[in-house]
Structure 1
Amino acid sequence: MLFLVRMDVNIPSHVPPAEADAIKLAEKNYSQELQRSGKWPHIWRVVGEYANYSIFDVESNDELHGLLSGLPLFPYMKIHVTPLAQHPSAI
């Protein structure tokens, strides 16, 4: 199942910079592991925002929820998920 996911990140200003840096490093490592596994085949930055659009290729809604909630930045994210289906005009 393919999903388009928009993630907007908002780390509160009260989070100490060293803690924020550690969370971002853990996020990078986790996301790259998912990319290598094929579960997260595409990620694009939204220009001028701390946000991204990503494509996830997973077996179920529950698997996607588990992967997203495992993101170290998850507590600081607003996430919008759109399920995708094959378009009849696609070649």
Structure 2
Amino acid sequence: MLFAVRMDVSVPQDMDAQAKAELLAAEKDYSQDLQRKGEWQSIWRCVGEYANISIFDVAGNERLHEILWGLPLFPYMTMDITPLAEHPSDISLD
């Protein structure tokens, strides 16, 4: 199943610099591992915001839930999740 997920991040301004650096490194490792496995298909930065839009291809709702809750930055995020379906005008489906 395909999902588009918008993730808005709000890390506390007073977070210890070392703790923040470690958190961001863990987030990068986690997301890149999922990208290599093909479940996190793409990630796009939202210009001018601490946010991204990502496309996930996962077995179902439960797997997406598991992935998102596993994000090291999850406690500092708000998300908008949209299930996706093929569009009949998409020429790549021919």
User: Do the two structures share a fold, i.e. TM-score over 0.5?
Assistant: yes
User: Which residue is 1:22 aligned to?
Assistant: 22
User: Which residue is 2:73 aligned to?
Assistant: 73
- List, as ranges, runs of 4+ consecutive aligned residues in structure 1 with deviation greater than 2 Å: none
Structure 1: gaps of 5 or more residues: none
User: Which residue is 1:12 aligned to?
Assistant: 12
Give, in angstroms, the shift of residue 59 of structure 1.
0.5
State the TM-score, normalized to the length of structure 1. Answer: 0.97
Give, in angstroms, the shift of residue 14 of structure 1.
2.8
Distance 1:89 1:9 in 2: 34
Give the paired residue count.
91
State the TM-score, normalized to the length of structure 2. Answer: 0.94
Distance 1:73 1:85 in 2: 28
Give, in angstroms, the shift of residue 81 of structure 1.
0.3
Give, in angstroms, the shift of residue 83 of structure 1.
0.3
User: Which residue is 2:35 aligned to?
Assistant: 35
Superposition RMSD on alpha carbons, in Å?
0.7
Structure 2: gaps of 5 or more residues: none
Structure 1 counterpart SS, 2:11: coil
Structure 1 counterpart SS, 2:56: strand
